């Protein structure tokens, strides 16, 4: 049974899918050291881990892949 994500992480994951430009802005803030958006930080880091694993993943399944691998709870 897959654990459901925390509500704020689930919202962040949905935002990453719905607003890709916001995801880009969040990633730039995170890499610049601005960690003011905790839900987006969690979602972007999870997405980054999935991407860095080397798998080819369709963008719309990225959040699901992260959740399936336990990177988003």
Backbone angles phi, psi at 4, to 5 degrees: -75, 145
pLDDT digits 0-9 by tens, 11-27: 556 655 656 676 677 66
| pLDDT digits 0-9 by tens, 62-73 | 566 666 666 555
Residue 41 makes CB contacts below 8 A (sequence gap 6+) with 26, 30, 35
Tell me the per-residue pLDDT of 30-55, one tens digit each, with 9 for 90 and over: 667 666 666 666 776 776 776 666 65
Cα dihedral 9→42→44→52 (10° resolution): -120
Q: Which helix (H) or strand (E) holds 50?
A: helix 38-52
Q: What are the boundaries of each domain within the chain?
A: 7-68
User: How far is residue 56's CA from residue 67's CA, in Å, rounded to a whole number?
Assistant: 16
């Amino acid at each position: 049974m897959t654990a459901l994500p925390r509500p704020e992480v689930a919202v962040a994951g949905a935002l990453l899918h719905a607003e890709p430009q916001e995801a880009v802005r969040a990633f730039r803030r995170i890499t610049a050291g601005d960690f003011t958006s905790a839900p987006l930080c969690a979602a972007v880091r999870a997405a980054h881990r999935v991407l860095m694993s080397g798998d080819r993943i369709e963008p719309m399944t990225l959040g699901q892949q992260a959740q399936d691998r336990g990177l988003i709870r």
